Structure formats: C-alpha cells, structure tokens
Amino acid sequence: METPVEIDFQGMAPVEQIRRSIETHVAALEQRYGRITACRVAFKAPGGHHRKGLYEVSLRLALPNGREVNVARMASQDERYTDVNFAINDAFKRARRRLQDHVRRMQGHIKEHEAQPIGKVIRINPEDGFGFLETADKREIYFHKNSVLDGGFARLSVGARVAFAEEQGEKGLQASTVRLLGKHGMR
C-alpha cells in the first residue's frame, strides 16, 4: 500500500487490538485482490452514556487509476453489530465481495449493462393502440400500446423521446418495452 491504513476512531479512544484487527483485514484484502493504494476506515463506537448500541464500520479503499470501493454499515438494527469483531468482520466481508466484483468486471466476467437506446415517436395511432419510433440511426421500429411502461401510451405524442428495448417480431423489428423520457416522466 502506498500510504498507511488510516483508522478514525469515532466516539472512543484508539484501541490497539481493534487497530491490529483492521490492519490484518486490510493486508488480507491487498494480498488477495492486488494493489490497494490507500485505505481509510471509520470505526464508530455506540453512542450514549452507557455505551450500549451498535458499532459502525465504514471503509474507503482507493485502487489504481482513481477507482474506489466504499463500504458502509447497513442501516439495520441487527443485534450482532453490538459485537466489535462481528462489525469489523462483516464490513471486510462486504469489501471482499465488492473487490471480487470489481476484479471480475475488469477481467470481463461481468458485463457492464449497456444503456437502452433512445428514440423518438414519429407516428402514433391512438385509436388502434400502436405507433412507430425512429432510432438514432434512422430506423423505424413498431411498438404496441402494451409495450409502453407505466400506462404511458396515453401520454405519448409525436416527437416524444423514449428509451426502448428492441426485438425481432413476426413482422420485423419491434420495441418490446418503451419508456417515456423527459418532462413527462420517468428519468
């Protein structure tokens, strides 16, 4: 690691046993998943006068090329988080999963989801419940009112921007799902 592990003890004085446990976990991550350039761990003790409650552990791992993996304790009232070791182990278990996904993406084992293509409505026949949209590469694609998500067919008009999923139908290309974009709606 290019910089030492930074551990921020919040609501408590630093504890050497916790520091060693965190450093051991970080070393195991680095050994298994390659170079981690920096690591910041926020370890928050339970609040309150009697020190009862849940520990919170948040991690920020900096990776080469400006990439990051961030892990924060989920907002749940799981009683297991009253145990220091469980809270630390769980945070690093989630970090391992995220790093594993990151490595798989980089190796091409997990596909990045492509954005849905965008088109615009060029003809619409409200009486019969169908229309046509034009793709970015100027192809015309048929769609049926049942393909329009969230009952949006009634809100469609010529020129409306839509995202769609294309598939081969009985009579050629058609949009299997159409989602209205822009001022009317949904993203």
The domain that contains 25 carries what CATH number?
3.30.160.100
Q: What is the pLDDT of residues 11-26, one digit of tens each?
A: 899 999 999 999 999 9
Q: Give residue for tokens 């409200």.
A: 126
73 Cβ contact partners less than 8 Å away, ≥ 6 residues apart: 54, 55, 56, 57, 58, 81, 87, 90, 91
Task: Note whether 42 and 98 are same-domain residues.
Answer: yes
What is the residue-level pLDDT of the chain in tens, covering all 187 positions? 677 899 999 989 999 999 999 999 998 988 887 778 889 999 998 875 545 688 889 999 888 877 788 887 655 677 888 889 999 998 898 888 888 877 777 666 555 555 678 899 999 999 999 999 998 888 899 999 988 887 789 889 999 999 888 877 777 778 888 988 865 444 3
Beta bridge mates, 58: 42
Last residue of a domain, one of 75, 106, 137: 106
Which range marks the domain in which residue 86 is found?
A: 6-106
Q: Evaluate if pTM is beyond 0.85.
A: no
Of 112, 97, 14, the residue nearest 59 (C-alpha): 97
Q: How many domains does the chain have?
A: 2
Last residue of a domain, one of 106, 141, 167: 106
Domain of residue 132, CATH code: 2.40.50.140
Phi, psi (rounded to 5 degrees) for 33: -115, 10
Q: Give residue for tokens 């049942």.
A: 146
For the record, the structure tokens of 51 come out as 């020190």
70 Cβ contact partners less than 8 Å away, ≥ 6 residues apart: 58, 59, 60, 61
